[in-house]
Structures are given as structure tokens and as C-alpha cells.
Amino acid sequence: MEKELNILKERLQEVNDLESASAVLAWDQATYMPPEGAAARGQQMATLGKLAHEKFTDASIGILLDKLRSYEKDQPYDSDDASLIRATRRQYEKKTKVPATFMAQFYQHTAESYVMWVKARPDNDFKAVQPLLEKTLELSRQLANFFPGYEHIADPLIDFSDYGMKASTVGQVFNNLRASLVPMVENITSQQPVDDACLHSSFPEDKQEAFFIDVVKDFGFNFEKGRQDRTPHPFTINFASSDVRFTVRYKLNDLSEAIFSAFHETGHALYEQGVNPKYDGTTLAGGTSSGVHESQSRLWENMIGRSRSFWEHYYPKLQDYFPAQLGDISMDAFYRAINKVQRSIIRTDADEVTYNLHVMLRFDFELALLEGNLAVKDLPDAWNARYKLDLGIEPPDNRDGVLQDVHWYSGPIGGSFQGYTLGNILAAQVYETAILAQPDIPNEIKQGKYKTLLTWLQDNIYIHGSKFTAPELIERVTGESLHVEPYINYLMTKYGELYAL
Amino acid sequence: MEKELNILKERLQEVNDLESASAVLAWDQATYMPPEGAAARGQQMATLGKLAHEKFTDASIGILLDKLRSYEKDQPYDSDDASLIRATRRQYEKKTKVPATFMAQFYQHTAESYVMWVKARPDNDFKAVQPLLEKTLELSRQLANFFPGYEHIADPLIDFSDYGMKASTVGQVFNNLRASLVPMVENITSQQPVDDACLHSSFPEDKQEAFFIDVVKDFGFNFEKGRQDRTPHPFTINFASSDVRFTVRYKLNDLSEAIFSAFHETGHALYEQGVNPKYDGTTLAGGTSSGVHESQSRLWENMIGRSRSFWEHYYPKLQDYFPAQLGDISMDAFYRAINKVQRSIIRTDADEVTYNLHVMLRFDFELALLEGNLAVKDLPDAWNARYKLDLGIEPPDNRDGVLQDVHWYSGPIGGSFQGYTLGNILAAQVYETAILAQPDIPNEIKQGKYKTLLTWLQDNIYIHGSKFTAPELIERVTGESLHVEPYINYLMTKYGELYAL
């Protein structure tokens, strides 16, 4: 079987090279491409995408996978070879079950929706996108139906980003979380609002950058295997485990913008830099799911980066960078400012406590829309009512309501949002496990040291790349399935202290 | 025939997308890639190159070209369709006549040579590369022999970069030039050397950059369709006529380094930005030959950028950027400094007058080696003797002698150098023609205006992309074949005045 396996690996390498090349082109498009280079770039990326898809879905790949079935069964489940064959088969089935003509129609439609949304949002014009969104819903249902035998129609769509997570499991976990969060938000927001003016004076970008570069190097980001650039929307991208890049957005009058997006993206990047380099060029390269990926960005951004222990070490350094702005601000005042909780209508601006309420209502709407229990035309009213119910605040218009996120206007309805909150929940579960295994971690963090934590995360999560599905990985790492208690404990402890809950 | 032509264009677009993607990867490799990204990048570029080659040399392309033969004959020679078919057939024959196995062997060998050269040059160790160079020579002969029927064995190799230029024609033109240059260099270098200390104080990079950006914008470089970055070795690269990028190298203590390399690369870039956008994605995209390309870089760098008229306008602006360094330096002293002629041993550091002597001796050695009239083992002595004869100076060692250029250690012997001097000769021929057609050009240059010149170059050269071969284009543009008199006149006038020849 060695021969078939080697042929498979060669083919996967070729597909991976095309996909990585396309990723370089995407990175360049977002960072340095001159404006008029856009049309040719779109053409180049379309060609690379088409070739990668053709090569991966070629019938010969299916034949190789069939021939390798018995070999796979003879290998240990968690061996590299069995995992490679298993992960490749899963991808192959996903990509061959949906006809290419359907995907072309789907991309064509979402491209049109996106163009309309870019206009409709500033115009506050939901009516303009409504028929397109109705078609998106219909196409999303069709897409799901290429994978018959599901328990819930959202399950195949969730599988695209969080394989193995079912609507029922996620829904139950989310309901548990919501039951704790809604009263917590009510309690906090009934108190005197925190003064965060200290974050909103003027902070020169080069000093913001110098500060967070110091920090992410301490975290363990390796600049020999990656870099950092500036873009309007921060992201992390990788072309190999040895070339992982993240981007950051600056706001002169908001110190938290660049710093916390740098910590967040560094979390994603540490994961990618930590994947076993043996997996480069194979289906096992890269992080395993959107939820697990988000657990790492959130762990480094929030559980570390917004913790008191972290700032005990770094706040004096930050004050050195900004003596005029922060010299007179106490560590405690700063800590409260960066952890200010408030009712808000925009998901991406939300604090750690309210953020998940934004996500979970979107998840519920995706299910309701797919089930046929909510019509697209009724979405704006339902949206506003749910904001009132969960967050105690209603969007003044659709622009900052149902039109705020790009997801439904550029991709399917279903599977788009759950990863954000799964990430938060997982982060707490993982962090709790790490500290149990390595009790020195909290003390090291107070000293700006991350080696023990990073090594533990690398050995237990990062190294595996996509070898395990998210549910498998969670079970392996924590010995338990996904559950919400560690996250609720984390929030109760941290915000209980901050707000005397 | 429209159907076959459209299929051909679709195939060429795909090949072009792969090649452009590979160019983006190469640009990133030279500019921003983190060090450890190199191995994966090499793999990605190899895959893109292999796929582009497979797709372009596919038998179906040959069948399409055959079917299109009669259609091609019915179209005017200079029509887009006939030119596309003609240029594609030329490329197809070039790429299919050489077996893929031979090219793999050749690339493998030159990759090894390059690695050895990187070590051997600082070690001044010609013996280390001699056997590799002997094999390069043998492989270069084999490569040429895949194209039987040549007049001189170098001709097929010259065709790779300067299609249609024969060793005999080039040799004759070069001999004429050399006959004028050797005595000119003798005369100039017998005089008191020019003092160029004013170029060698300290010039902050950001100000150098600000100055040359002003200038290249005036030249007509469009930053909406391109950009500029920093690399150790300056180059120009394009992914479409709407995305053309150049790079520059800075030296703090040499003002001429960045500025003139910016002008040089901008010449290449203006050519690429000026190609008919209709040709994007086809065989007609991009400049037509290394000599014609170099004629444009040299025209903008030297004939414009080192001219008295140019500096009459820009020198006061340069002084504003560097008041401490240049405030007390007269325009005349500066002009003499940037045009200082001296005997030198390094080609890339040579001035306008001596530069071609460096190139022409390399060209002659390529012919002699290929003919079998010079053995690789005798090259270092022959090299030093020829330097003594032509330039009146002998390299102190092989490091700064026969080991100085990368070309023979990373590619074939034959066709590697002639383009540099062809470019200088052509630049003068083209510039003379432009001024005859548009007599206002010299006056406009004194005012820092380039619209008339750029428009003339665009309409007569740039727009055509690769539609015409270099000899065809020269004939169309100047009404004459390649000849050296305008260039000798240019040098005699400029340096006659500077050195009272």
C-alpha cells in the first residue's frame, strides 16, 4: 500500500501548493496589491481554485482512497497514515457530493448578494437584500440536502466549519450558557458604567505596534516563520507551518483595537506555527475546526491578554510607551477599562460577556430559517425583538441590526457563527485543563513567561493539526466532551470580582 | 476559426494565471517572506511552474495552432490575432523542442552550480566551480542543438532572451562599438579623476525615497497600477499590465544607488504598464525582448536621468531634500559626479561609458566557449587579459573577476549578457527617433515634463507588448535596423562636453 499512499501524498501536495499559492495571492490582495490589480488577481485566484478543485475531486483520488481502506483499518486510529486517509476521505466526500455546477451557481449568487449588501447596508435597505437572502436560504437548504441522513438540516452546514458538531449538541450547550449570561449582563449593566476614557486619547501607531510585537514575541510567535502587516480587517493566514502571517488594524483613539486584535490573531498564528511540519502539504495541515481555532485566539486574547495577571507584568511597559496618556492611570483603572461590559448592538465591538449573546441569537436564527420556522421577511423584527430580550437594547435601524455582519450575504445561512462561541467555551475548558496539568502556568504569566503554557498547547493541540475532529480533540485533551461550566466559572470569577456579582 | 481561437485564448489565460501567480510568489519571496518560508515557497513555485509548462506544451495546443494556420495567413501580419498565433507558435516550438527530462536535468545542474558559486565566490575559488561550469557549457551546447539549423551555436540561446538577434549581427555591432569605446575610455581615464565625494556623505533612506517617488511619478509611473518596495537586488516584475512592481536598494553613503536604480526599474515598469491591456493573459503580454526592455530602463535611467536637462529641473529639489549634504554643491559639480567615468572591474558598478566593455567581453567569451575556441579552465586568464586590454585594469582575483556575475552559475552559457548592451544601443536609436518625431521633448524635459515622450514611447513601443520581435520592432519604430551610430553620437556629445574629448 506504500505505493498508493505515496501517490496520494504527491497529489495532495500538488493541491496544497495550489491552495497555498492562492492564499499568498489573497494575502497580497489584502495587504500590498495596488488598487487596479484587483481584476487580474480575481482571475488568477479563480484559476488556482478551479485547478485545485479539479485535482482534488479527480476520480483517481477516490480510487486511491478505496484501495487504501484496508491499510487504513490496519493502522492505529491516531497514526499519521490512518488519519491522513480518514481526513482526506472526509474532504473528498464533502467536495464530490456537491456538483460543481451547483457550487458555481452558489458562488455566483453569493457574489451578487455581497455586492448588493455593500450598497444596502449604508442605505439601511433590508428590502434590497431580502430576495437575495431568500435565495441564499433556498440554496443553503439545497446544499445541506446533498448530505442526506442528517439529524438537523443545519448539521451538514455546521460540518463545513466545525466537523462533528451537531445543531442539537451546540444548541443545548448554547442554551445553558445563555441561561447564565442574560442575568449576568442584566446585573452588570444595572451598575454604574466603567470609565474607559483612558483608552480613548491618542496613541501613535508605531508605539502600539512596538508594544504588541514585544508581547507576541513573549507569547512565542516566531518571526522567522511569520510576519505581521496592516489591513482594514485583521486576519491570520498560512502558506505552511513555517510561513504564518497575521494582520492588525489600528485606531489612533482606541488603544484596545490593535493590541487585542494582535493578541487574538497571534492565538490563531501560534496554532498554525505549532502544527507538525510533517503535515505540511497534506490534508492534516492547519487547525482542525473553526471552533478549536477560535478557542486559541480567544485564549490568548482574553484569558491571557485581558487578565489581571498579564497586565501586572505588562502595564508598566505599556505606560513606558505612553507616559503622557497612561502615566497617571492606575493599573486597576486600566484593567477595568479593558474589561468594561455594556449592552451593545454590534457583535464585533462587544465585550467578553455580551459577545456570546450576539453569536447565539444568530445561531438560533440560522436554525429557525433553515427549519422554515422563520421567514426571511420577518427576520428584522425577530432580530430586534431578540436583542431587546437578550441584551436589553434594540438596534436603531437594520444597518446596525440584521445587516451588520457580512456572513449571510457572502456565504450560506447555517454554520456561520457557532464557531465564535464554541471557541470561547472551549478556551475555558482547555485552559482549565492546562492549569491542572501544569500548575505553574498562572505564576509564570505574572512574570510574562509563556513557555510552559505554549508547550502544553503545542503538545496537546497544535501539533495534531487536522488529525482529529473537534469532538475527538476535546475528548483527548480534556477527557470530557464540550461543556460550558469552565467558561461560566471563568466569567463568574473574573466579572464577579470586577462587578461584585 | 473563432472557436479554435477562443479555446486557445482560454488555455493561454490559464497558463498565464499560473505564471502570474508564480510571479506573485517570487515577488513575495524577495520582499516580505519570512526566512523559514523558503522551503515551502520553492515547492509551491515548482508546482505552479510544472503545471504551467504541462498546460502550455499539451499536444492540444499544437493541434489548435495547426488548425489556426490558414486563419493566421488570412489576417494582416500585425493584427492582434495573427500576432497572437505567431507568438504562441514560437513559444510552443521553443518549449516542446526541448524534452522535459533535459530541462529537469538542466535546472538540477544550475541549482547545484548556484549553491557552489555562492560559496566559491567569497572563497575566490574558481577551481571549485570549474567542473560545474564545464558541465554547464556542455549542457548549453546540448540545449542549442535541440534547435538545429542555426548559423551560430549561440543563436538558439540568444533567441531565448532576444529572439531574432543573431550572434553575427550582434557581434558586428559590438565590434563597431568597442572600436569607439576603448580609445574613449583611454582618453577620459588619462585625465584628472572627477571628485564625486558629494555623493558619498550620508543620505537618509526616507528622503532618498521621497525624492525618487516624486520623479518617477513625473515620469508617468502609475501607483494605482503598481508599487515600489525594497530588496537587496532591484528588479521589476508584473502580474498584469495593471499590477507592475519595482524594487530598489539603498545605500546610506551612496546617493546614486537608490535613485538611479529607481529610474532604471521605472523604465522597465513604464514599458509593462504601457502594454495594451487587451494582451493581458495572452502570449502578447509583456515586453518583447531583454534588449528592448533594457533599452527602456537605460533610456529613463541614463539618457533622461543622468542628463543635464533633467537635473536643471530636479537638482534644486534634491538640494531641498538634502540641504546639509548638497547645499554647497553646484549643479555642475553634481552633474560631473553622477557621470564620473573610471576604469573598473565590476560590471554592475560601471559607468555609462565603460559598462558596455564589461558586457561585450562576456558576450565574446560566451561565443568562444560555445565554439570550443576557449576552454573553461583557461577562462580566468583570458578574462584578466581582456580586462587589461579593454579597460586597462586587471582584477586582483577571480572573486572580482570571472566569478563576479551569477549568470553562468545559474543559467546557460550563451545569450546571458548581450541584452544589456543591445539595450544601450537601442535606447539611443529610439530616443533619437522620438526627438525627431516630437522636437519639443528636450524642452519639456528641462521643465520636468514627460508626457510627450511617454506618449510617443507608449504608442510606438509599449502598446505592442510582445507582438513584434525586437528586429521587427526596431525597423517599425526607427525605419532602420539595429546600428550603433546614435549611441556613439550620444556618448561622444555628452562625454565630449564633460571631458573635452
Give yes or no for B407 touching A (CB within 8 A): no
Cell of residue B491, nine digits: 556618448
Q: Which residue has the cell 487536522?
A: A466
Handedness of CA B471, B475, B481, B485 (dihedral sign): negative
Cβ B44–A239 below 8 Å, yes or no? yes
Residues 28-87 of B with CB under 8 A from A: 28, 32-37, 39-41, 43-44, 46-48, 51
Separation between Cα atoms, residue A176 and residue A181, nearest integer Å: 9
Instruction: Give residue B87's Cα distance to chain centre.
Output: 21
Q: Residue ranges of the alpha helices (H) in B438-469?
A: 441-446, 451-460
Q: Are A136 and A412 in contact (CB under 8 A)?
A: yes
C-alpha span between A68 and A61 (Å, rounded): 11
Candidates B24, B27, B54, B222, partner chain A, best to mutate (most A CBs within 10 A): B24
Amino acid found at A260: F
pLDDT given at position A494: 97
Is A223 near chain B, with CB under 8 Å?
yes
Please give the Cα distance from A26 to B156 (Å, whole number).
39
For residue B501, what pLDDT is reported?
85
CA distance B210 to A254: 30
Checking if the pLDDT of A137 tops 80, the result is: yes
Does residue A18 belong to the interface with chain B, where contact is any CB pair within 8 Å?
yes
Whole-angstrom Cα distance, residue A276 to residue A226? 16
What's residue B154's pLDDT?
Answer: 98
Which of A265, A294, A352, A366 is the catalytic position? A265
The predicted pLDDT at position B64 comes to 97
pLDDT tens digits for B334-348? 999 999 999 999 999
Do A243 and B41 make contact, defined as CB atoms within 8 angstroms? yes
Cell numbers standing for residue B282? 495572452
Q: Specify the 3-state DSSP secondary structure of A374.
A: coil
Q: What mean pLDDT is predicted for residues B23-33?
A: 96
Alpha helices (H) in B69-124, listed in sequence order:
69-74, 80-97, 100-123
pLDDT in tens, B283-323: 999 999 999 999 999 999 999 999 999 999 999 999 999 99
pLDDT bracket for residue B274 (50, 70, 90): very high
A112 is catalytic: no
Look at A28 and B33 and tell me if their CB atoms are within 8 Å. Answer: no
pLDDT tier for residue A354 given thresholds of 50, 70 and 90: very high
Average pLDDT value over all residues in chain A: 96
Q: Do A34 and B239 touch (CB under 8 A)?
A: no
Can you state the angle between helices B290-298 and B255-274, rounded to 10 degrees?
130
Find, in chain A, the residue whose alpha carbon is nearest to that of B29.
A24
Quote the Cα angle for B221-B224-B225, to 5°. Answer: 70
Residue A1 has pLDDT above 90, yes or no: no
Q: Give me chain B's average pLDDT, please.
A: 96
* Pairwise pLDDT comparison (B2 vs A182), residue with the higher score: A182
pLDDT at B1 over 80: no
Q: Is the pLDDT of residue B90 over 80?
A: yes
Cβ separation B240–A24 shorter than 8 A: no
Query: What is the identity of the amino acid at A219?
Result: F
Closest-CA distance, B34 to chain A, in angstroms, reads 5
Nearest-CB residue to B17 (from A35, A43, A223): A43
Note whether A48 contacts B14, CB cutoff 8 Å.
Answer: no
How open is the CA angle A171-A172-A178, to the nearest 5 degrees? 85
Nearest to B137 by CA among B418, B496, B411, B432: B411
User: Percent of chain A beyond pLDDT 70?
Assistant: 100
Interatomic CA distance for residues A236 and A246, integer angstroms: 4
**ipTM of the modeled complex:** 0.94
Query: Residue B40 and residue A24: Cβ atoms within 8 Å?
Result: no
Pairwise CB contact (< 8 Å): B239 & A37: yes
Angle at alpha carbon of residue A429, lines to A426 and A435, rounded to 5°: 135
- Active site residue: B72, B209, B257, B265, which one? B265
pLDDT for residue B2: 85
Segment B393-419 shows an average pLDDT of 96
- Residue contact B37–A242, C-beta within 8 A: yes
% of chain B residues with pLDDT over 90:
97
- Nearest C-alpha of chain A: how many angstroms from B442? 32
- Smallest Cα distance from A176 to chain B, Å: 44
A168 at the B interface (CB within 8 A)? no
Asked if residues A97 and A143 have their Cβ atoms less than 8 Å apart, the reply is no
* Shortest alpha-carbon distance between residue B300 and chain A (Å): 23
What is the pLDDT at residue B100?
Answer: 86
Which residues in chain A have their CB less than 8 angstroms from residue B229's CB? Answer: 32
Q: B223: which chain A residues are within 8 Å (Cβ-Cβ)? A: 34
Instruction: Pick B242's closest partner by Cβ from A18, A39, A225.
Output: A39
- On whether the CB atoms of residues A336 and A194 are closer than 8 A, the answer is yes
Tell me: pLDDT of B499 over 80.
yes
**What average pLDDT does the segment A174-190 reach?**
96
HSE, CB side, 13 Å, CA atoms: give it for residue B257: 19
Run of H or E residues at B131:
helix B126-145
How confident is residue A100, by pLDDT bands cut at 50, 70 and 90? confident
